[in-house]
Amino acid sequence: MIDLKFLRENPDIVRQNIRNKFQDAKLPLVDEVIALDARNRAIKAEVESLRSERNKGSKNIGALMGQGKREEAEELKKKIAGLGADIDRLTAEEREVEEKLTADMMVIPNIIDPSVPIGKDDSENVEVQRFGEPVVPNFPIPYHTDIMESFGGIDLDAAGRVAGNGFYYLIGDIARLHSAVLAYARDFMIGRGFTYVVPPFMIRSAVVNGVMSFAEMDAMMYKIEGEDLYLIGTSEHSMIGRFIDQIIDEKNLPYTLTSYSPCFRKEKGAHGIEERGVYRIHQFEKQEMIVVCKPEDSKMWFDRLWQNTVDLFRSMDIPVRTLECCSGDLADLKVKSVDVEAWSPRQQKYFEVGSCSNLGDAQARRLKMRVNGESGKYLPHTLNNTVVAPPRMLIAFLENNLQPDGSVRIPEVLRPYMGGQDAIRPKN
């Protein structure tokens, strides 16, 4: 959510930003917000004037009664009662105007960074840099679930009977590998100075509204029936929600946190949810990184965050690239975003394994987070990035470490988490 004062003073910039995101249907909201804001401020001024008049009149009633001017006092009482009715009417209108104003502001997209390429959708995202040499082996790479099945490591049929499409059982060495990657990612981030956190896996609607756009919420979130609780789609939600309505002491910034959680997503409208595999699923686990920092430091932290993911994947011998998300591919709260994509030898192309985002002060404004600094209170910036998210990440891992005999090499960094094994070997 952008600053109302900024919109009031720079409506043309806000309109152009909406055009840059190819959301022209939202253009009328700018004029609507300006009109609602003007009406809201006018109501407040009128209510303040009426209250001042009422307070002054109330004091005069006692004086008139003391002077024996009973009739004048009664007339003044009637006038004050009328003022009270006007105040109540205007106060009710003020609530309605503010609710509509907030609703409009919540759907106007955040101002994107000038460096963001302009494009309609993810097909116009821009490759930034490649890390590691993509390799296509001289032997066929099976589909990822076929690799897993060769180890007796996955059961999609049973998961379908238990929970439906989009779920899975991981078994044996594949399940252990899944946990090993998460444990290694946790320790990798701790080694980079991040504090490890296990957050709540459910959040209230006030937090949901604070951390994501309505479109994202509708496409992602599972609601707990009969309760004001949602299952998290990523631990970023509850991690940033931790600071709702809080005043942060500036000396505690930056917060650099890495969190583990299961994640639950409806994947509403997503293609491929019916396909056999674990690329797009309703349930997965993830290690995340989150930063809350001073506004002037957010660009530096943004570059550090995506670099952490690149370094993690390269330590496991997986080639990756970074992709700058274009304007039309950015969620409404995001200022800038870079996807990290891993190389798939089977498909001979890259696919997304993580996303790094700078949200500026949008989440802080929605959640009413403030920093108490030397020169006064201000809104911090919030950033997040995927460290690793198996089982999707396992697709890249298995394909890039598969050997001609069907075994999978375990990179040196993972061996302590796999009981010292340098490889896992198929059962079938």
For the segment 189-201, what is each residue's pLDDT rounded down to a tens digit?
A: 999 999 999 999 9
Q: What is the pLDDT of residue 344?
A: 95
Indicate if the pLDDT at residue 276 is higher than 70: no
Task: Give the 3-state secondary structure of 87-145.
Answer: HHHHHHHHHHHHHHHHHHHHHCCCCCCCCCCCCCCHHHCEEEEEECCCCCCCCCCCCHH
Q: Which residues of 203-235 are buried (b: 16+ CB within 10 A; e: fewer)?
A: bbeebbbbbbbeeebebbbbeeeeeebbbbbbb
For the domain spanning 122-424, the CATH number is: 3.30.930.10
For the domain spanning 4-107, the CATH number is: 1.10.287.40
Q: Are 414 and 184 in contact (CB under 8 A)?
A: yes
Residues of the chain with CATH 3.30.930.10: 122-424
| Token reading at 26 | 């939202």
Indicate if the pLDDT at residue 391 is higher than 90: no
Indicate if the pLDDT at residue 268 is higher than 70: no
Burial (CB count <10 Å: 0-12, 13-18, 19+), residue 17 = buried
Q: How many CB atoms lie within 10 A of CB 193?
A: 8
Q: What is the pLDDT of residue 271?
A: 54
Top pLDDT among 277 and 4 is at 4
- Half-sphere exposure (Cβ direction) of 235: Cα atoms closer than 13 Å: 24
| Token reading at 241 | 């929600």
For 367-413, where are the E strands, in sequence order? 370-373, 376-378, 381-388, 408-409
- Half-sphere exposure (Cβ direction) of 354: Cα atoms closer than 13 Å: 31
- Half-sphere exposure (Cβ direction) of 358: Cα atoms closer than 13 Å: 27
Tens of pLDDT, residues 144-179: 999 999 999 999 999 999 999 889 999 999 999 999
Indicate if the pLDDT at residue 49 is higher than 70: yes
Residues of the chain with CATH 1.10.287.40: 4-107
d(Cα 355, Cα 234) in Å, to the nearest integer? 12
Q: What is the pLDDT of residue 413?
A: 97
In whole angstroms, what separates CA 108 from the centre of its chain? Answer: 16
Indicate if the pLDDT at residue 270 is higher than 60: no
